[in-house]
Amino acid sequence: MNNPPENSDVSASSRLLDSHASSQQPGGGDARNRTHGTFTPASIQSYGESSQISEAGYLHGRDGISSAPSGGKSVTKQLAEAHGLKNQRAMYLAYYVPFFNWITHSPLLIVGPEAAGSLMVGAVVRSTVEEGKGIDDNPRGNAAISGIVVGMAGAMTLIGGITRLGFVDNVLSRPFLRGFISAIGFMIMVDQLVPEMGLSDRAREVLLGTYGSSAEKLMFLIQNVHYSHGLTCAVSFSTIAIIMVFRILKKHLQPRYPAVVFFPDQFIVVVLSAVLTWALEWDKKGLVILGNIKGTSNLFRFEWPFQTDKLEHIRNAMSTSFIISLLGFFESSVAAKGIRSASKGGIEGMTYSPNRELVALGVANMVGGCFLGLPAFGGYGRSKLSALTGAKTPMAGIFVALITLASVIWLLPYFYYLPMAVLSALISVVSFSLIEECPEDIRFFIRIRGWSELVLMLLIFFSTFFYSLYLGIALGLGLSLLQIVRHATKPRIQILGKVHGTRDRFENAEVHPERVEYVAGSLIVKIPEPLTFANTGDLKNRLRRLEFYGTNAAHPALPRVRPPEHNKNIIFDIHGVTSIDGSGVQVLSEIVEEYVSHGVRVFFCRIPLPGSEVFQMMEKSGIIDTCGGISHFVSTVENALQLAETEYINYE
């Protein structure tokens, strides 16, 4: 977006009045820079240059205009996703997003149903039907199950925000996300090929439903391609081609004609397909249409999802709700962070609070679950579209919700002749957007030789493709947690050597051994990190390797290389130990006691200041007394070596 030109003619008095007006707003200071507590509703602020902000700071003039293309896209997309669930009333969830916009601090994040979450809710509904606990053609019962899943996902998200668990968006790796999102996109694409080719009835006969893995469905499509319906295929693939052509045209025309993003291509395709079906009577030629659905019904009612008579459904949906909550928040986080950059269509200086977003998303989904909705989280595509069309405040999201609500209430009867193949084609386009960034990430990791990241991506993708979505999620989460645990529990202690020709310079002897020399009779060990229960479990074994071999890389089964007389003095450089927990100080105390009992002198250098938490823990645990008193705690490694030499001479 282009910044407005600066007005050099603005007088000093005008600037003074502007400054006074901003200081009089609630909370004081600049409205753009004020922050709110996690639970305090934020004003609908606008961001950017001061000339772009409305007088009260709550609404920007382009918010209503920018919501038109997003609203049109939202109508067609939610029709498609609700079609996949057999729960048209689930589309109403998008209209409770004002609860999100009221609390959020991300002005451009547009919230609505996402393909992945909708697919997972549909999977719970299908599994309930398969287990005989539900009826396939019972919209009311299926909607109730959807409300349970969404309500629990919202409750989990809200609890995460209240307990300030927003840091989890930094836990899952980028390869995990890319592999999982790409797998979902490919899975959805294969799923939609069945109705796009007019093979839904045959799939139910051959597969006893449409619940097989993506590999099984792809094999089914290959074996039954000659049974496909010609008109359905033509409508489906022509819809995909038209939408993709419009995407390419918009991409190339937008730099010269920014207004092209307002063109509602998907909405026009939907309307034209319905008109052509009615005019040419395609429904009588075998093309399946949406049929008669009403904009309002008794499904649009308040129903508390956590009722005692639904405990069995709650237990069955618990794991799915947790995954929806986790991945939905993570996707929202990626979208919010992605549009913060002004170079990517965002707003410079926009803030992001993960805990606040958790609260906002949790409230919105809990309200949506009470009205039998779909899970709603932030989407990168619609948020980027909103930013590119000039949105400045969360009011843009509210306008999108109002446009979609009006369409569902008054326009649904006019979609009677809408081909189901067109809805499937719209979902396929969405699935393509989920996987289009995957090749770029693969090329990047190949270029940097990030083989572990590539293996993680491929493992998640193929496990989802050949078995199920849940196996891919379980493997991805398990491997990511294993990587985190492995990284956290690995001690990073180093053996230091004195740099040749210097008195007080010491470096890691394992990095450049030719530059350093070992100090006779002393083992200098650097601990460059905080000590916790996680990384002290193997500390004794690592120290033993340094004593025996002078390196961590040696195998413990090898014969000893360093004689015992080279370890008469153990010097710990603990400058990096900025914190220590009870388990860590207990292990360190045992190590010091063992050294002292064998006649080894122990010194600590570059210690934390007296009175600090680390120093107090070492004092209370008895480490200071065991070493020989405070005199064994010095400021530098050189001082520790001098003290060790002096004590050795006195001892002799």
Assign 3-class secondary structure to 164-207.
CCHHHHHCCCHHHHHHHHHHHHHHHHHHHHHHHCCCHHHHHHHC
Give the per-residue pLDDT at 293.
65
Which has the minimum average pLDDT: 8-12, 454-458, 644-648?
8-12
483 pLDDT higher than 80: yes
Average pLDDT over residues 410-439: 82
Q: Are 480 and 171 in contact (CB under 8 A)?
A: yes
Q: Are 62 and 390 in contact (CB under 8 A)?
A: yes
Residue, of 386 and 436, whose pLDDT is higher: 436
Give the per-residue pLDDT at 309.
75
650 pLDDT higher than 90: no
Looking up tokens 């004590």, which residue turns up? 647
Give the per-residue pLDDT at 272.
92
Give the per-residue pLDDT at 13.
36
Residue, of 395 and 154, whose pLDDT is higher: 154
Percent of the chain's residues with pLDDT above 70: 72
Q: Looking at this protein, which amino acid is placed at residue 183?
A: A
Give the per-residue pLDDT at 424.
85
Q: What share of the chain is helix, strand, coil (3-state, %, to 5)?
A: 60, 5, 35
Give the per-residue pLDDT at 107.
67
Average pLDDT over residues 338-360: 64
The candidate with the shortest Cα–Cα distance to 197, out of 229, 226, 239, is: 229
Which has the minimum average pLDDT: 1-15, 498-512, 518-532?
1-15
61 pLDDT higher than 80: no
Within the chain, all domains assigned CATH 3.30.750.24 are found at 490-651
556-586 per-position pLDDT tens digit: 778 888 888 888 899 999 988 989 999 999 9
Residue, of 219 and 347, whose pLDDT is higher: 219
To the nearest 10 degrees (0 to 180), the angle between helices 62-85 and 420-435 is 110
Band of pLDDT at residue 447, cut at 50, 70 and 90: very high
Mean pLDDT of the residues in the chain: 75
Give the per-residue pLDDT at 176.
81
Helix (H, G, I), strand (E, B) or coil at 259: helix
Give the per-residue pLDDT at 565.
82
94-149 per-position pLDDT tens digit: 555 555 556 666 667 777 777 667 777 877 877 776 666 655 556 677 778 888 88
Average pLDDT over residues 443-464: 89
> Dihedral (C-alpha) 358, 146, 367, 180: value to the nearest 10 degrees?
20
Please report, for residues 599, 616, 618, 619, the alpha-carbon distance to residue 623 in angstroms, rounded to integers and kept in the order given: 16, 10, 5, 6
Average pLDDT over residues 482-490: 82
Give the per-residue pLDDT at 233.
93
Q: Are 542 and 617 in contact (CB under 8 A)?
A: no
Q: 541: phi > 0 → left, psi -120 to 50 → alpha, else beta; which?
A: alpha
Please report, for residues 386, 395, 597, 630, the alpha-carbon distance to residue 66 in angstroms, rounded to integers and kept in the order given: 6, 10, 75, 68
Band of pLDDT at residue 340, cut at 50, 70 and 90: low
Band of pLDDT at residue 594, cut at 50, 70 and 90: very high
How many other β-carbons are positioned within 10 Å of the β-carbon of residue 480? 18
CA 154, CA 176: separation in Å to the nearest integer? 23
The candidate with the shortest Cα–Cα distance to 644, out of 604, 615, 607, is: 604
334 pLDDT higher than 80: no
478 pLDDT higher than 90: no
The DSSP H or E segment spanning 377 is strand 376-378
261 pLDDT higher than 80: no
Which has the minimum average pLDDT: 399-403, 519-523, 570-574?
399-403
Band of pLDDT at residue 521, cut at 50, 70 and 90: confident
Give the per-residue pLDDT at 387.
64
31 pLDDT higher than 50: no
56 pLDDT higher than 50: no
Average pLDDT over residues 72-77: 49
For domain 490-651, is the CATH number 3.30.750.24?
Answer: yes
CA 458, CA 5: separation in Å to the nearest integer? 48
DSSP string, 32-84: TT----TTSPPP----S-GGGS-SSSS--THHHHHHHHHHHHHHHHHHHHHHH
Note the pTM of the prediction, 2 decimals. Answer: 0.66
Band of pLDDT at residue 472, cut at 50, 70 and 90: confident
335 pLDDT higher than 60: yes
Q: Are 323 and 473 in contact (CB under 8 A)?
A: yes
